[in-house]
Amino acid sequence: MKKDDIVILKIEDFNTEGLGIGHSEGLTLFVKDTIIGDVAEVKVMKMKKTYGYARLLCILTSSPDRVEAPCPVARPCGGCQLQEMRYEAQLRFKEQKVRNNLQRIGGFPDPPMEPIIGMKTPFRYRNKAQFPISRDKNGKLFAGFYAGRTHTVIDCRDCLLGAKVNQTILDIVLNHMEKYHIQPYDEATGKGLVRHVMIRVSSEMLYEENYAEENGNALSIAHDGVNEESFCNWQRAETIPEKTSGQIMVCVVINGTFLPESERLVQALGAIPGMASITLNINRERTNVIMGRQIKLLWGQEFIEDTIGGIRFRISPLSFYQVNPRQTEKLYGKALEYADLTGKETVWDLYCGIGTISLFLAQKARAVYGVEIVPDAIRDARQNAQLNHITNAEFFVGKAEEVLPEKYEKEGIHADVIVVDPPRKGCEQSVLDTMLKIRPERIVYVSCDSATLARDLKYLCAGGYELRKVCPTEMFANSCHVENVALMSYER
């Protein structure tokens, strides 16, 4: 097989980036925009020894799971990979992906999996979006998302995963830039001012809640599947007026220290109901990292507030916060169930962010200690404890791989339960080794990457732990990512 060959393929699986996988002549081909079950005519674009990449020419037989994507830029945009797959099938795929990783990487022949916790409505769930600003061929400014694998910006101001108010905000920012001749940042030259517009909204601004209210909450929340009726009807939400409660944060990321005529921008944005925080983020580095370290307040507060499971959280622009609040509540509920607290336990929450899981656990534990690398997040965590009158949670700034071993070696700390929620790359080995030394009765592992989860679970099992349960949880509907909670225990 060589470049430009035209091949007919049956798509059998997705790779980790959501490309369809098919086989021909003993070789593997990856094809964007196909879904499992499609039979497609494809053109080979690039060929390596055993695998290659092909472009979809036409679908010959549609997968029974194929649906029309509601978003007009579903294919070019890098945000969604599975929008053309029926939601029910997306969930089955994600469960299977987790099972495969636990088997292949983790070496668990029959992993103890619970059914995936799916969403009722897989749209309008994201509370955060970061829009790069660009110019089209005619010189007109636009905002959107990067295309998959490249930094070409796809025009999309109303992402169907996000809040409707995003579009209003972007229009105001783009107008402001046009009016005062403010240039968008150009990655190639490092020139230009405005890099990204980051928008965060509290849960009330998101679709599901609006929808449920309008419909008297008539639709049941399916535990392990999806309510077809709600899925078909989600578009009706477009006619529902925007809610005016809830809070909005806008952070304009600039390659400079000052935004021209910013008071006029503030005036326009401040008129949006719910606007609570308008800030600049200074990022003058030639880097792919979206946010710089410095925040300048333009208007309102430097944070917004959100409530999950009855606990109030304040969130700063630089702090991590789960993007899907409704599912987060279910995720943390599962973590709490697995932690199985009676009120006597000492709990460590590593990679704690703004203390979300820590404060959930603190209500049922004797003491909770959180560790997190971002200082702003720890500042939020401490404030959040106060805000909720929680006095048995303490927070430490630092790397989990440094703080935990140090606390163990110097202070001989004890833990009944350790919760970890690391970024995609998983836990550093020194964190795992220290956990094995501390030997808590239970380890609850929250993970957004089932491959590194499987690797780390295998390591902990080799150290004497047993994998009890794994529960995949939908956090990123229409993308190929899936969140998980796993419970391990040590039998004395």
Interacting residue with ligand SAH among 121, 356, 388, 479 (CB under 6 A) = 356
Cβ nearer to ligand SAH, comparing 83 with 322: 322
Quick one: 282 exposed, middle or buried, by C-beta within 10 A (0-12, 13-18, 19+)? middle
Cβ nearer to ligand SAH, comparing 121 with 447: 447
* 473 touches ligand SAH (CB under 6 A): no
**By CB under 6 A, which span of 133-141, 226-234, 275-283, 394-402 interacts with ligand SAH?**
394-402
Q: Which of 448, 461, 471, 480 is catalytic?
A: 448
Alpha carbons 151 and 290: distance in angstroms, whole number: 12
Interacting residue with ligand SAH among 372, 376, 456, 474 (CB under 6 A) = 372
**By CB under 6 A, which span of 71-79, 81-89, 267-275, 372-380 interacts with ligand SAH?**
372-380
Strands 346-350 and 417-420: parallel
Q: Which two tokens stand for residue 419?
A: 């919760």
State the number of CA atoms in the 13 A half-sphere of 277 facing the CB: 26
* Long-range Cβ contact pairs of 10-14 (< 8 A, separation 24 or more): 10/38, 10/39, 11/35, 11/36, 11/37, 11/38, 11/39, 11/40, 11/63, 12/36, 14/81, 14/82, 14/93, 14/97, 14/480
* 323 touches ligand SAH (CB under 6 A): no
Instruction: State the nearest-atom distance from the C-beta of 322 to ligand SAH, in Å.
Output: 5
Q: What is the dihedral of CA 209, 213, 215, 217, to 10 degrees?
A: 80
**By CB under 6 A, which span of 13-21, 81-89, 204-212, 319-327 interacts with ligand SAH?**
319-327
* 339 touches ligand SAH (CB under 6 A): no
* 105 touches ligand SAH (CB under 6 A): no
Interacting residue with ligand SAH among 45, 268, 374, 387 (CB under 6 A) = 374
Distances (CA, A) of 431 to 38, 411, 448, 463: 43, 16, 18, 13
Cβ nearer to ligand SAH, comparing 111 with 353: 353
Instruction: State the nearest-atom distance from the C-beta of 19 to ligand SAH, in Å.
Output: 26
Interacting residue with ligand SAH among 119, 169, 254, 357 (CB under 6 A) = 357
**By CB under 6 A, which span of 50-58, 135-143, 246-254, 368-376 interacts with ligand SAH?**
368-376
**By CB under 6 A, which span of 119-127, 302-310, 393-401, 453-461 interacts with ligand SAH?**
393-401
Alpha carbons 375 and 250: distance in angstroms, whole number: 21
Interacting residue with ligand SAH among 322, 384, 447, 452 (CB under 6 A) = 322
Per the CB < 8 A criterion, the answer to whether 201 and 163 are in contact is yes
Instruction: State the nearest-atom distance from the C-beta of 234 to ligand SAH, in Å.
Output: 26
- If binding means CB under 6 A, how many residues of this protein chain bind ligand SAH? 18
Q: Where are the beta strands (DSSP E) in 229-328?
A: 248-254, 275-282, 294-300, 304-308, 311-315
Nearest 5°: the CA angle 162, 167, 168 is 130
Alpha carbons 60 and 88: distance in angstroms, whole number: 23
Interacting residue with ligand SAH among 165, 352, 368, 453 (CB under 6 A) = 352
Alpha carbons 274 and 243: distance in angstroms, whole number: 9
Interacting residue with ligand SAH among 108, 125, 207, 351 (CB under 6 A) = 351
Cβ nearer to ligand SAH, comparing 43 with 364: 364
303 φ, ψ to 5°?
A: -150, 165
Closest residue to ligand SAH in the complex (CB):
353
* 308 touches ligand SAH (CB under 6 A): no
Is 448 noted as a catalytic residue in this protein? yes
Dump the DSSP string for 350-383: ES-TTTHHHHHHHTTSSEEEEEES-HHHHHHHHH
**By CB under 6 A, which span of 145-153, 228-236, 244-252, 347-355 interacts with ligand SAH?**
347-355
Alpha carbons 398 and 401: distance in angstroms, whole number: 8
Q: Identify which of 312, 303, 206 has the alpha carbon closest to the alpha carbon of residue 250.
A: 303
Alpha carbons 268 and 491: distance in angstroms, whole number: 60
Window 401 to 460, contacts with ligand SAH (CB under 6 A):
401, 421, 423
Instruction: State the nearest-atom distance from the C-beta of 320 to ligand SAH, in Å.
Output: 3
- β-partners of residue 367 are 346
- Would you name the residues annotated as active-site residues? 448
Binding site for ligand SAH (CB under 6 A): 320-322, 351-353, 356-357, 371-374, 377, 399-401, 421, 423
